[in-house]
Every structure is written in structure tokens, then in C-alpha cells.
Amino acid sequence: MRQPCLLATVGGVRITDADRRARLAGRHLLAPAARAATPEQVADALVALHATDPATVFLAVAARMADAAPAALEDALYQRESLVRMLAMRRTMFVVGRELGPVVDSSSARAVAAREHKNLLGYLADGGGWDAAWLAAAQAEVLAVLAERGPLTGAELGAAVPALQERVVAGAGKSYERTQTVASRVLRGLAMEHRIRRDRPRGGWTSSQFRWAPGEPFPELPAAEARAELVRRWLAGYGPGTEADLVWWTGWNRRDVRAALAAVSAEQVELDGGATGHVLPGDGDPGSAAPGTAPYAALLPALDPTGMGWRERDWYLPPEHAAGLFDRTGNLGATVWWDGRVVGGWAQRPDGELVWRLLEDVGAEAETAIGVEAERLAAFIGGVRITPRFSAPLDRELSGGG
């Protein structure tokens, strides 16, 4: 059994890379004994599930549930609406628990929505000469149609609301000049303000052809209080983390991150390499570390919350593996984990076969455990074909995509 390692230093407490990896077993629900019973428990543990690629949400939950099935997550998203999609931190799409929605909204999403609204007005004025009154009228018509006939796809809304069919010239005079309808920008703006929401998509759970349904804006919280609560949640699941980690994950400026850390009385700890990490009060004490667990395997999807949870990743993702696992814009592909470290990648071939490759020698015990996890993941996927929206070099190689 592995034991957590916390070493006291002259400056206070030192949390080693080994202990940070040990924390992932329970806090990120990766060890078999720590797996969740519901999708909501997974979302709460990870704070926010990366949702740019719809399949990521399902595969991230499947890796962490004891008895996972797509229907359970679909029920939470589209029937009970206990999980909600939000464009929030870093202007990225996430799925969060409904109770956390107001915190994410007031700390992050409202500022993103305000910038989008300003940009949308400029886009409409430059491309078609329309003003805020025109936009408000178009939005009101969308809301009226959805209230009467929703949920509807974007195409169905476009047919029902003539304003959505208006066309603008984007990037006039530039090499990327193009003519496009205003529908997607208008609908996205309404969604960012939570006046409409993404409902069950056409097709299966990997589809991004969402239907739109009436939404409900979240109650507004004081922004500073919301930022403090989000940092508290992040430290509970991801701590210790550096200030740079939090600035990157939240997308906030350094001043707001520091204020939030102070508001939750975060404590400083020393990390391997000499960096300063932050934890919640008492979480740096030796008795607060997760209990020792047996080594475990996990197959996580592209853009998984654990893989993308920190800006500084060397403690769980060896730098020599990065070239094959990240695309050109810094998106992490599908990964194979052993005992809290990334040791390889996986993909699905065109015929549906799930394949994986190790990037280092991890021994027979690890290979056996990884094989068991691959079979569990394949059973969850069933006959569904996964096509990652972001594909790293190793993904393409394994899937036969070059």
C-alpha cells in the first residue's frame, strides 16, 4: 500500500509530487474504491466538467462512476437538469452542478457574457447596420417561439424567426472575409445569459447538434464572494495548486485570484521544485492527506478535468510525453493513467475498437489493470463511434488518422 508523503520544512509544510498524485485517487474519484454513484457527485468533486466536446462529459463521468451508463448522465442533463452547461472560465464550455451554477455565473460567466454582448452588437452594426433595439426584438422573438414550440434545433429556430436568417459580412476586406447568418451568434448570446439552454441533441450522446429550450438566469451573487467560493471548491478538489494554476484555470487576473485566496484563508505550502502552493486551512497538515490506496489505472478522455486541471503539469504528466498528447493549441488528448501519472494514450479506431499505447514501461501489474479499464470503457461506449473534436498526434496515430 502506498502511503502519502508530507515532509515538514523550515518554511512550514512541504507537499511532494508523490503526495499530490496520491490525492488524485480519492479527490478525483479515480481509484475504484472512490468511484461515485451519480453523475452529480462526479461534477461536484471535479468542480466543472470540460464540455467543449460533448463526448468528454460522458467519458469523464464514466471513468469515475462505479456503474456508469450514458442514460444516467442524459437524465441529469436533460430531464432533472441537475447538471447545466455554461460558457464560463477561460470562455470555455463546462458542465457544473446546478447548485454551483450561481457561483460559476457570478464569478466568471457574467463577465464573459458581457464581453460577448458588446462584441455581438459591434458584429451586427458593422455587418448589417443593426442596433441594440434590433437585437432585443430578435431575442424576444426567439424566446417567444421557444416558449410555444421548444425545444427546437438552430435550423428550426432559423425557419421560425426571420431575423435569425439575416446575413452579415464578417471580416470585410480581409483574407478571411465571409458571409454568414447571425443565428449562431444571437443564440449563443442568449445561452450565455442563460435565457435559453442546450437541450437533448439530435442523435446520440456524442452529438453537438443541440436543441434549444427556454432557460432560467441564475440569481446574481456578489462577484468577490462568488470568486472566493469557486476558489474554495477548486482548492478542495485540486489543491495544492499554485497561483499560476488558478490564474490559468479561472481565466481571472492575478489580483482577483489573490483576493479570493485571501478570502478563504488559503495556506501556503512548499511544492517539489521550490514552488509555492496553496491549500485550504488545515489541508496541508499531515493528517489531511488521502489514505494510502493500491495503485490504480484510468483511461481519461481528451480535455478531461484532471488532465486539464493545472497549468503546471510536470508532477503528473512527464514532459517527454507531451509532444504526442497535446494538439497545437494546447488541448490534451485521451490519456492512460497509472497511479496518478499519465503513462500513455488511447483512441478508438474506425471500426470501433479501443486501442491504447504506453509511453513508458510500467510493469505487468499496470498493463493488466489498464487492460481491465480499457474493457470497462469499451463496454460503456458500446457501439458508439467517438470522434474527438480535438485530436493529439498520438490520438491520430492510434486511430489510423495519420
DSSP string, 40-75: HHHHHHHSSEE-SSHHHHHHHHHTTBTT--HHHHHI
- Show the cell assigned to 109: 460567466
Q: How far apart are CA 203 and CA 132, in angstroms?
A: 35
- Show the cell assigned to 143: 424566446
Q: How far apart are CA 360 and CA 301, in angstroms?
A: 19
Taking phi first (over 0 means left), then psi (-120 to 50 degrees means alpha), and beta for anything else, what does residue 65 get?
A: beta
Q: What angle do CA 303, 304, 308 make, to 5 degrees?
A: 70
Position 401 scores a pLDDT of 63
CB atoms within 10 A of CB 378: 14
Q: What are residue 369's phi and psi, to 5 degrees? A: -65, -40
Structure confidence at residue 177 as a pLDDT band (50, 70, 90): confident
- How does the average pLDDT of the chain come out, rounded? 92
User: Is residue 296 within 8 Å of 290, Cβ to Cβ?
Assistant: no
Position 400 scores a pLDDT of 85
Buried b (16+ CB within 10 A) or exposed e, 339-362: bbbbbbbbbbeeeeebebeebeeb
The side-by-side arrangement of strands in the sheet containing 93-97 is 49-50, 93-97, 83-87
Which tens digit of pLDDT belongs to each residue from 194-226?
999 999 999 999 999 999 999 999 999 999 999
Q: How far apart are CA 210 and CA 315, in angstroms?
A: 37
Position 257 scores a pLDDT of 98
Query: For helices 17-27 and 223-238, what crossing angle results, to 10°?
Result: 100
Longest C-alpha distance within the chain, in Å? 69
Tell me the mean pLDDT in the region 255-283: 96
Q: How far apart are CA 186 and CA 362, in angstroms?
A: 50
- Asked if pLDDT for residue 402 goes beyond 80, the answer is no
- Show the cell assigned to 284: 496541508
Tell me the mean pLDDT in the region 264-292: 84
Which tens digit of pLDDT belongs to each residue from 248-268?
999 999 999 999 999 999 999
User: Is residue 386 within 8 Å of 207, Cβ to Cβ?
Assistant: no
Structure confidence at residue 7 as a pLDDT band (50, 70, 90): very low
Q: If you ran DSSP here, which 8-state letter would residue 315 be given?
A: T
Which tens digit of pLDDT belongs to each residue from 12-65?
799 999 999 999 999 999 999 999 999 999 999 999 999 999 999 999 999 999
Position 294 scores a pLDDT of 87
Tell me the mean pLDDT in the region 231-242: 98
The side-by-side arrangement of strands in the sheet containing 276-279 is 6-9, 12-15, 267-271, 276-279
Structure confidence at residue 11 as a pLDDT band (50, 70, 90): very low
Amino acid at 312: E
Q: What are residue 324's phi and psi, to 5 degrees? A: -85, -15
| DSSP string for residues in 120-176 | HHHHHHHHH---HHHHHHHHHHHHHHHHHH-SEEHHHHHHH-GGGG-EEEESTTSTT
- Asked if pLDDT for residue 116 goes beyond 70, the answer is yes
